[in-house]
Amino acid sequence: MPLPHARATLFLGLFSLVSVVVLYLSTLDVQNNLSPQGCRMSRMSPSYILQTEFNASWTSLANRYSLWLYREVGWESNMIHGSQPVLFIPGNAGSSRQVRSISSSAVRQFYSSPHRLSPNFEGTPFKPLDFFAVEFNEDLSAFHGPTMESETAYTANAIAYILSMYPPNTTIIILGHSMGGVIATSLLPSDKITAIITMSTPHLLPPARFDQRIDQIYNRNRLVLESDPTPILSICGGATDMMIPSESCILERKDAPFRRTVFSSALEGAWTGVGHQEMVWCHQVRWRVARAALELGDATSVERRGTVLDRWLRDGSWFPPIDAPPQLLERHSYKILSENERLVLDRPRGRETYLLPVVSGSSARLTLYVSQGSVLSISPQIPVPLDVSVLICQATVDEAFECESLEPSVLKLIPNPIPGMPFPVPHEGCDESEGVVLFEVDLSSTHQDRPTWVGIKLDRANGFGWVIAQVAPETVIVRDVKITSLLAGGVSTHLPDTRALHISVHFDNLLSNALTVYRVSPRIFTSGTECKENYLSPLLVHRSHPAETHYFPLRLAPHRDILLHTHSPAPYIDTAMSGRGVYLDLLSSGGDNCRADVITLEIAWTATAGRWASRYFTTIISWAIGIVSLIMLELWRISDEGVVLTSTVAQSLDFFCRRRFPALLLGSSVFSMVPLPTNYFLGTKGEPFFSPLAPLFMAIAFGLVVVSYWFLFALLWPLRLLSKLSLGRSHREINGFSRATAISMSLILLFVFLVIPWQVAFLGCWFVHAVTCASRPRSAGDSLKSPSNSVIISLMESHPHTNGEEPDAPTGPVDQSPLQIANNYNHNMHLLLLMTWLLPLAAPVLVVWIRTLATAGFTTPFDGDHFVLNVAPFLFLVDFASRTTGPLFEKTRLERRVSVRWSLLVVTVVAFVYGPKQAYLVFDATKLAIGLMVVFRIGTRYWDGSFSGANARRTIRQ
Ligand SMILES: *[C@@H]1O[C@H](CO)[C@@H](O)[C@H](O)[C@H]1NC(C)=O
Ligand SMILES: *[C@@H]1O[C@H](CO)[C@@H](O)[C@H](O)[C@H]1NC(C)=O
């Protein structure tokens, strides 16, 4: 078996290996630098009580899975009384134990010490929580629809069981981690569920797309997500989450039904990327989830539940209601500032109102920062008593002012990173008292006809914190930068020399997509060595999606790179986002100590490449199958044309590389500019900037095909030696069809139908075929040298009926021409290559099956994996290939008009266009193509029992 020797082929193989390594390394770069994680570990004293009464009378899955109740040791009694149930659903390979961080936090928030109610909850209607968790034995639900359905069925029964222990009409709160969130969604519609909080859940796109039944579950859930009235909130970890691309976690924001997405980088008080597993224990997230759950228990209406979720898992897009009555400011109870003057109050004391005049006729914006205190009840978790309210006032007679509360257009808690420390602080993150409240409102539309003042009213100031406010025209810099202009290098933007509290920089035309990452480098003026403001050091805010915001402190070099990225739009995810526009906000307290005057924007290539790898993994596998089937199409073309000697795989690869590959590269880049819907091909809707990705991934896919052939070469070599050794003894050729063959084939199919999943049978086929390739003669010379080499391994050999003498096998010498031997060998090797590439599509379920066997035994139903037709074409083909002495494939008279080889072109099209989003379709298409081949080209000979070409012709003549 020669290796390909064209230099280009060799080069592409090596190129793909290097690319895979580079992509892998850049993925690590993404994890470490794009959205770093700063999470405090949580501590608890867990115990778990097995719910033994939830037994086979409740669910048929009682032996497979289990249900546990969490209790914090020493803090609460084991009784269930007057409490509110919560159910935690773990994800793929997850454990019920993951409930402990959130449940422990709920207990320690509700009680201040064991059995003592916390002052926060005294006199409130809130109840303690009982956290239940389902245990799925770390089943791999993400890869296997039926496993997910079993888990869903078990969870639905568990909910019925849990609620049977509570007063009638009790509803349950559901927390789902990762695929657990998908299971939670598939429990709907249900009137037993209060609300669902999902963490790092891929709602929109299955992470593993090899099983059609997963897709069906997702299709059903899509309808639920659109219309079911149960509130659902999705927390996403952002780029730090390497298990799922976070764009699949985004639920479009809606009020009815209530749907929210909160990125942990935007979550107030967290401001950090959170990894996939870390999401359940990251302290900054878990206490908020626990707190929301505590208050959800009392929320009876859907609106109220929405408000609780909005309040505790807030990213700044929800405002508390304002119900302060209009008020009159008496003479001497206020201080008036001059126009454009900045209010700066350091460690204020007492009660005071400051009036800032609004200049009429020009655009004016109020920017207010309050550190440590609260504005409209928005504050750090542990605030000082300082309370600031914002009023809009007009003068009346007698030097008094009539004031009303002013509604904010922005009201959120922003971080105030500590100078000299990384942000977020690794392993620590933000502290409970950290954060500055930002209040902004556009004043240009209010009360322009009369002189107007903005009142900043301080209450209960006790010498802690600071307040800064200014009414000033908006500072917006608009730059027309396109991503193509960044290819040549960075683009710099000069910031105006103002001491504005808030400067906006808009790149309206810049591409904003999950596949691109930009680096921002600021140039900073400072008097010292540290960029340190007295109040708020300059902070860059990048709001890339209504739900996704990132905060970056502007630092002197060397600092952590500021990498701008987004999760929407993204490949294979439908969204209404336009994909244009990068909007930055520079916030600071406007001091002179630390000011950025130029920011430079460039493409961050390493991080960008890291974004591609995780999104195009399935695409590359699917495209490789498409390429292999193109290569086979070529082989069948020359064999149909009656070329005497077909090419070896090595020759095919070389030929493809020289003759077809350049066209494929060109074609794919042109095709990637066709504005297809996001589900197809590259998934970029024809965005021209991404069109080079298509040839790049085609090259990697083809290179991987070459590498896989090297791998097969290495694998077959020892197999060949083995088969020479063990089968060197004289074997009789099992030749032709017999009753025994029929019986054993039916037995195998029955076995697949009843016991083993077809994926296992497929692996068996692959293995048998590999042995066939290793043991059959490669060329006439081979077979002449050692005739015993033409020994055939067949599926039936181990079968008792065929083990002994073979009474009804056709006998007599079969002439096999040297050409035919070589041609069959070539066909077999090409087939082996194709089947090897199909393995990734079948293997995940195989792994699930083995795992499930290990944990749950043979009792487990693997419904739907016994569809024999999925594997039957391969079974017959492999069996035939292992025994035929005639030509493997010969064009038959049935194909006079159209050759069945064109079915391989269909496989290619499916693999290129549909495969990336629905990889299982590629297997289906290949199965059909092979099925047609078997029916048309082997079928008659198989059932005639004429395995050699000579016999076939004889049969026809009769
Ligand atoms: C399940 O548990 C209940 C209560 O302990 C018991 O009455 C019932 O017989 C059990 N059912 C099975 C099938 O074990
Ligand atoms: C439960 O709800 C139903 C329908 O809303 C109501 O008729 C019934 O009285 C409620 N039962 C209790 C115990 O609250």
Q: How many CB atoms lie within 10 A of CB 805?
A: 7
**pLDDT score at 201:** 96
Residue 813 has pLDDT above 50, yes or no: no
Q: How many CB atoms lie within 10 A of CB 166?
A: 17
C-alpha distances (whole Å) from 487 to each of 580, 588, 601 are: 17, 31, 11
Report residue 572: phi and psi, to 5°: 70, 15
Residue 159 has pLDDT above 90, yes or no: yes
Nearest atom of ligand 1 to the alpha carbon of 56: 13
Kindly report the protein residue whose alpha carbon is nearest to atom 8 of ligand 1: 57
Query: How far, in whole angstroms, is CA 358 from its chain's centroid?
Result: 48
CB contact at 8 A, 388 and 458: yes
CB contact at 8 A, 735 and 947: yes
Does 53 contact ligand 1 (Cβ within 6 A)?
yes
Question: Among all ligands shown, which has an atom nearest to the Cα of 57?
Answer: 1
- Report how far ligand 2's centroid is from the alpha carbon of 183 (Å): 28
Banded model confidence at residue 621, pLDDT cuts 50, 70, 90: very high
Does 57 contact ligand 1 (Cβ within 6 A)?
yes
pLDDT tens figures, 545-576? 999 999 999 887 777 889 999 998 999 999 88
- Report how far ligand 1's centroid is from the alpha carbon of 133 (Å): 21
Kindly report the protein residue whose alpha carbon is nearest to atom 2 of ligand 2: 169
Nearest atom of ligand 2 to the alpha carbon of 168: 13
Q: Which of 591, 589, 599, 604 is nearest to 524 (CA)?
A: 599
Element spanning 812, H or E: none
Nearest atom of ligand 2 to the alpha carbon of 167: 13
pLDDT tens figures, 367-378? 999 999 999 989
Nearest atom of ligand 2 to the alpha carbon of 169: 1
Kindly report the protein residue whose alpha carbon is nearest to atom 13 of ligand 2: 168
C-alpha distances (whole Å) from 527 to each of 532, 607, 777 are: 9, 33, 81
Question: Among all ligands shown, which has an atom nearest to the Cα of 56?
Answer: 1
Rounded to the nearest 10 degrees, how much is the dihedral formed by the CA atoms of 615, 618, 622, 624? Answer: 80
Nearest atom of ligand 1 to the alpha carbon of 55: 1
Kindly report the protein residue whose alpha carbon is nearest to atom 3 of ligand 2: 169
Residue 685 or residue 727, greater confidence = 685
pLDDT tens figures, 394-428? 888 888 899 999 999 999 999 998 888 888 899 88
Report residue 130: phi and psi, to 5°: -105, 115
Banded model confidence at residue 802, pLDDT cuts 50, 70, 90: very low
Domains observed in the chain: 46-313 (3.40.50.1820), 327-473 (2.60.120), 476-603 (2.60.120), 610-726+736-778+818-945 (no CATH)
Question: Among all ligands shown, which has an atom nearest to the Cα of 52?
Answer: 1
Of 124-138, 215-229, 588-602, 669-683, the range with the lowest mean pLDDT is 588-602
- Report how far ligand 1's centroid is from the alpha carbon of 53 (Å): 6
Banded model confidence at residue 796, pLDDT cuts 50, 70, 90: very low
Nearest atom of ligand 1 to the alpha carbon of 53: 2
- Report how far ligand 1's centroid is from the alpha carbon of 50 (Å): 15
**pLDDT score at 800:** 39
Does 301 contact ligand 1 (Cβ within 6 A)?
no
Round the average pLDDT of the chain to a whole number and report it: 86
Sheet holding 491-494, edge to edge: 491-494, 594-603, 518-526, 562-564
**pLDDT score at 680:** 93
CB contact at 8 A, 389 and 408: no
In the 8-state DSSP scheme, what is residue 731? -
**pLDDT score at 790:** 35
Q: Reduce the secondary structure of 58-112 to three states and give it as a string.
A: CCCCCCCCEEEEEEECCCCCCCCCCCEEEEEECCCCCCHHHHHHHHHHHHHHHEE
Rounded CA gap, 282 and 287, in Å?
Answer: 9
Rounded to the nearest 10 degrees, how much is the dihedral formed by the CA atoms of 587, 31, 141, 216? Answer: 60
Question: Among all ligands shown, which has an atom nearest to the Cα of 51?
Answer: 1
Decide: residue 251, CB within 10 A, 0-12 exposed, 13-18 middle, 19+ buried.
buried
Kindly report the protein residue whose alpha carbon is nearest to atom 2 of ligand 1: 53
Does 77 contact ligand 1 (Cβ within 6 A)?
no
Question: Among all ligands shown, which has an atom nearest to the Cα of 166?
Answer: 2
- Report how far ligand 2's centroid is from the alpha carbon of 300 (Å): 13
Phi-psi region of 723 (alpha: psi -120 to 50; beta: other; left: phi over 0): alpha
Question: Among all ligands shown, which has an atom nearest to the Cα of 167?
Answer: 2
- Report how far ligand 1's centroid is from the alpha carbon of 51 (Å): 12
CA atoms within 13 A on the CB side of 295: 17
Of 496-510, 846-860, 872-886, 933-947, the range with the lowest mean pLDDT is 933-947
**pLDDT score at 459:** 92
- Report how far ligand 2's centroid is from the alpha carbon of 241 (Å): 43
Question: Among all ligands shown, which has an atom nearest to the Cα of 169?
Answer: 2
Banded model confidence at residue 726, pLDDT cuts 50, 70, 90: low
For the four alpha carbons of 565, 571, 572 and 577, in that order, the dihedral sign comes to: positive
In the 8-state DSSP scheme, what is residue 55? -
Name the β-bridge partners of 371.
436, 466
Element spanning 390, H or E: strand 387-395
Return the beta strands (E) in 231-326 as ranges. 232-236, 259-263
Q: Is 626 helix (H, G, I), strand (E, B) or coil?
A: helix
- Report how far ligand 2's centroid is from the alpha carbon of 619 (Å): 52
Banded model confidence at residue 801, pLDDT cuts 50, 70, 90: very low
- Report how far ligand 2's centroid is from the alpha carbon of 229 (Å): 19
- Report how far ligand 2's centroid is from the alpha carbon of 191 (Å): 12
**pLDDT score at 731:** 44
Banded model confidence at residue 81, pLDDT cuts 50, 70, 90: confident
Name the β-bridge partners of 601.
491, 520
- Report how far ligand 2's centroid is from the alpha carbon of 125 (Å): 20
Banded model confidence at residue 757, pLDDT cuts 50, 70, 90: confident
Rounded CA gap, 338 and 275, in Å?
Answer: 49
- Report how far ligand 1's centroid is from the alpha carbon of 191 (Å): 27
Rounded CA gap, 222 and 216, in Å?
Answer: 10
Name the β-bridge partners of 437.
370, 413
Residue 703 has pLDDT above 80, yes or no: yes
CB contact at 8 A, 887 and 820: yes
Residue 81 or residue 782, greater confidence = 81
Banded model confidence at residue 727, pLDDT cuts 50, 70, 90: low
Q: What percent of the chain has pLDDT over 90?
A: 55
- Report how far ligand 1's centroid is from the alpha carbon of 157 (Å): 15
**pLDDT score at 951:** 42
- Report how far ligand 2's centroid is from the alpha carbon of 295 (Å): 21
**pLDDT score at 420:** 80
Name the β-bridge partners of 551.
541
**pLDDT score at 266:** 95
Average pLDDT on 682-694 reads 92
Kindly report the protein residue whose alpha carbon is nearest to atom 3 of ligand 1: 53
CB contact at 8 A, 104 and 83: no
Average pLDDT on 140-165 reads 93
**pLDDT score at 344:** 93
- Report how far ligand 1's centroid is from the alpha carbon of 59 (Å): 11
pLDDT tens figures, 922-931? 999 999 999 9
Rounded CA gap, 30 and 25, in Å?
Answer: 9
**pLDDT score at 155:** 96
Residue 799 has pLDDT above 60, yes or no: no
pLDDT tens figures, 355-401? 999 887 678 899 999 999 999 989 998 999 999 999 999 888 888 89
Q: Is 913 helix (H, G, I), strand (E, B) or coil?
A: helix
Report residue 840: phi and psi, to 5°: -55, -25
- Report how far ligand 2's centroid is from the alpha carbon of 192 (Å): 13
pLDDT tens figures, 39-68? 998 888 999 999 999 999 999 888 889 999
Does 164 contact ligand 1 (Cβ within 6 A)?
no
Residue 946 has pLDDT above 60, yes or no: no
Residue 622 has pLDDT above 90, yes or no: yes
Rounded CA gap, 213 and 572, in Å?
Answer: 18
Banded model confidence at residue 526, pLDDT cuts 50, 70, 90: confident
Average pLDDT on 226-247 reads 94
Average pLDDT on 417-444 reads 88
Average pLDDT on 870-875 reads 88
Q: What percent of the chain has pLDDT over 70?
A: 91
Kindly report the protein residue whose alpha carbon is nearest to atom 4 of ligand 1: 53
Kindly report the protein residue whose alpha carbon is nearest to atom 5 of ligand 1: 53
Decide: residue 576, CB within 10 A, 0-12 exposed, 13-18 middle, 19+ buried.
exposed
Which runs of consecutive H residues, i.e. helices, occur in 641-757?
649-655, 661-671, 693-726, 739-754
Does 55 contact ligand 1 (Cβ within 6 A)?
yes
**pLDDT score at 88:** 97
Banded model confidence at residue 498, pLDDT cuts 50, 70, 90: confident
**pLDDT score at 786:** 38
Kindly report the protein residue whose alpha carbon is nearest to atom 9 of ligand 1: 57
Kindly report the protein residue whose alpha carbon is nearest to atom 1 of ligand 1: 55
Rounded CA gap, 756 and 731, in Å?
Answer: 31
Question: Among all ligands shown, which has an atom nearest to the Cα of 62?
Answer: 1
Pocket of ligand 2 (CB under 6 A): 168-169
Of 625-639, 720-734, 777-791, the range with the lowest mean pLDDT is 777-791
**pLDDT score at 43:** 83
Question: How many residues would you count in the chain?
Answer: 958
Average pLDDT on 833-855 reads 88
Report residue 908: phi and psi, to 5°: -60, -45
**pLDDT score at 419:** 82
CB contact at 8 A, 677 and 685: yes
- Report how far ligand 2's centroid is from the alpha carbon of 168 (Å): 7
Among 50, 52, 53, 165, which residue has the most ligand 1 atoms within 8 Å of its CB, making it the best to mutate?
53
Name the β-bridge partners of 350.
461
- Report how far ligand 1's centroid is from the alpha carbon of 54 (Å): 8
**pLDDT score at 33:** 86
Among 50, 55, 157, which residue has the most ligand 1 atoms within 8 Å of its CB, making it the best to mutate?
55
Query: Which residues 6+ apart lie within 8 Å of 448 measured at CB?
Result: 360, 361
Rounded CA gap, 614 and 866, in Å?
Answer: 32
Rounded CA gap, 65 and 71, in Å?
Answer: 20
Rounded CA gap, 955 and 437, in Å?
Answer: 89
Average pLDDT on 25-49 reads 88
pLDDT tens figures, 288-311? 999 999 999 888 899 999 999 999
CB contact at 8 A, 234 and 264: no
- Report how far ligand 1's centroid is from the alpha carbon of 183 (Å): 27
CA atoms within 13 A on the CB side of 389: 19
Among 164, 166, 169, which residue has the most ligand 2 atoms within 8 Å of its CB, making it the best to mutate?
169
Name the β-bridge partners of 503.
475, 586
Kindly report the protein residue whose alpha carbon is nearest to atom 9 of ligand 2: 169
Q: What tokens does 721 get?
A: 């030696």
